[in-house]
Amino acid sequence: MTTSQKHRDFVAEPMGEKPVGSLAGIGEVLGKKLEERGFDKVAYVVLGQFLVLKKDEDLFREWLKDTCGANAKQSRDCFGCLREWCDAFL
């Protein structure tokens, strides 16, 4: 599977205060929906949910769909991005 430039940029360095929209699969619309549901403007809040769900792909993708309406590609891209980031930095 090939990854987007956005994915490669995200996983290339520590997360710090990166915005939620910097996650692969999360654009402006989904980012705003996440913020409206309490998942602030920073990507590490979404990472926290990813970890709470024990990095389980099915649970995380279902949560993302239910929370902000992510489609299959968006949720797959976001999961892959967070999984690869965790592999590199945790």
CA distance 85 to 15: 8
Task: Name the residue ranges covered by the structural domains of the chain.
Answer: 5-89
Q: Which CATH class is domain 5-89?
A: mainly alpha
Looking up tokens 């994915």, which residue turns up?
7
18, 43 Cβ separation under 8 angstroms: yes
The values of phi and psi at residue 76, to 5°, are -65, -45
Q: What is the pLDDT of residues 50-78, one digit of tens each?
A: 999 999 999 999 999 999 999 999 999 99
Q: What is the pLDDT of residues 22-31, one digit of tens each?
A: 999 999 999 9
30, 74 Cβ separation under 8 angstroms: yes
* Length in residues, the chain: 90
Quick one: pLDDT at residue 1?
A: 60
Quick one: pLDDT at residue 31?
A: 94
Please report which confidence band the pLDDT of residue 13 belongs to, taking 50, 70 and 90 as the band edges.
very high
Query: Is the pTM above the cut of 0.85?
Result: yes
